[in-house]
Amino acid sequence: MPELPEVETIRMGLLPRLVGHRIEDAHVWGTRIARAQTGGPSALENQIKGRRIDALARRGKFLWAELDSGSALVFHLGMSGQLRISEGDAVPRATHEHARMTLDNGQSLSFIDQRTFGRLEVSDYVDTPDGQVAGWGSERRSIPRSAAHIGRDPLDDAFDAGQVVSKIRQSRSPIKNLLLNQELVSGIGNIYADEALFAAGIHGLRMGKNVRRYEVEEVLDDVAEIMKSAIEVGGTSFDALYVNADGDPGYFSRSLAVYGLVGEPCVRCGTPIERVNIQGRSHHYCPTCQPRSKPGTNLRFDRLEQA
């Protein structure tokens, strides 16, 4: 569920509570959320207990705490994961609470996840191939091994848009899927992919190689701008499943143009928004503003552009 803006909102909320503090105790109840951890929940507990958190960093939807042991505690929230701060350790275990850490400042950090697609893992580091810092909040030129397979996100200073554009234009997959492919460009999920495709006037089913270079550049610019705006208002909440570290929702849903708005009039032209399934995920789009064909090959679209 959380995409880059939501994960970044959580990171900012956690920053002053975690960085510089020591994890005094840790409990990992969930087996499934520790599935990537060699040795399972108990190994996870042992490797974080007593460690100080030196930094809290993010690339795409991956978040990690840099520990004084020389390893990283990596979080991925999946579809329904939450990281919540509470006062003290006396609070009873919440529904779907799979892990809790108590800190030397008297606060607790809980990992709560209804669907358990999220995970926790202690990982070592590998050098970044480009020699740049790993992502926001990190000063290291190395990234946790378990997050090293994803590409840089559009808000990263070292994001190479030209390379992403080239790769997208070599693929026969629908552009919507390419935007969701975290190895190509990370941080984009179903909401922001659809919003950016609408902003750029591109139908999500168009094959990557059939999208013009300037259009791909446009959609990458748009997704970065939309994500920045979303971060400013704390991300997108539809319900209690996404909240920040203090349990508060974000307000970007008020700014959405297409996501979840099937049947509503397009904000640009009034045509009802439609939805189509693209490889198992819903794609929301305006059939008028986002034609299926390339610019220059569709008379109706060209007339609209000239108007």
Partner DNA sequence: CATAGAACCTGTATGC
Partner DNA sequence: TGCATACAGGTTCTAT
Q: Does 93 bind DNA (CB under 7 A)?
A: no
Given 191, 219, 220, 223, the residue binding DNA (CB under 7 A): 191
Structure token pair of residue 130: 């480009």
CB-nearer residue toward DNA: 103 or 193: 193
Given 86, 107, 114, 210, the residue binding DNA (CB under 7 A): 114
CB-nearer residue toward DNA: 89 or 274: 274
- Cα–Cα distance for residue pair 216/298, rounded to 1 Å: 18
State the minimum distance, in angstroms, from the CB of residue 70 to DNA: 22
For residues 108 and 88, the answer to whether their CB atoms sit within 8 Å is: yes
Task: Identify which of 127, 135, 129, 67 has the alpha carbon closest to the alpha carbon of residue 101.
Answer: 67
Catalytic member of 2, 41, 144, 154: 2
Given 180, 200, 226, 257, the residue binding DNA (CB under 7 A): 180
Given 21, 49, 281, 292, the residue binding DNA (CB under 7 A): 281
Q: Nearest 10 degrees: CA dihedral of 223, 225, 229, 234? A: 50
CB-based burial of residue 142 (10 Å sphere; 0-12 exposed, 13-18 middle, 19+ buried)? middle
Q: Does 95 bind DNA (CB under 7 A)?
A: yes
32 is catalytic: no
- Cα–Cα distance for residue pair 78/119, rounded to 1 Å: 7
Q: Which stretch binds DNA (CB under 7 A): 9-17, 154-162, 174-182, 223-231?
A: 174-182
Catalytic member of 140, 281, 292, 294: 281
24-63 binders of DNA (CB under 7 A): 32, 60-61
Structure token pair of residue 185: 């460009």
Catalytic member of 17, 61, 84, 176: 61
- Cα–Cα distance for residue pair 258/194, rounded to 1 Å: 7
Structure token pair of residue 5: 């803006």
- Cα–Cα distance for residue pair 113/99, rounded to 1 Å: 10
22 is catalytic: no
264 is catalytic: no
- Cα–Cα distance for residue pair 288/297, rounded to 1 Å: 15
- Cα–Cα distance for residue pair 11/16, rounded to 1 Å: 9
Q: Does 174 bind DNA (CB under 7 A)?
A: yes
For residues 280 and 204, the answer to whether their CB atoms sit within 8 Å is: no
Q: Does 282 bind DNA (CB under 7 A)?
A: yes
Q: How many residues bind DNA (CB under 7 A)?
A: 40
295 is catalytic: no
State the minimum distance, in angstroms, from the CB of residue 63 to DNA: 11
Given 171, 210, 288, 298, the residue binding DNA (CB under 7 A): 171
Q: Does 135 bind DNA (CB under 7 A)?
A: no
Q: Does 251 bind DNA (CB under 7 A)?
A: no
Q: Does 236 bind DNA (CB under 7 A)?
A: yes
- Cα–Cα distance for residue pair 288/283, rounded to 1 Å: 15
* First vs last C-alpha separation in the chain: 38
Please list the active-site residues.
Answer: 2-3, 61, 281
Binding site for DNA (CB under 7 A): 1-3, 6, 32, 60-61, 76, 78-79, 95-96, 114-117, 149, 171-174, 177, 180, 182, 186, 189-191, 236-239, 241-242, 275, 277, 279-282
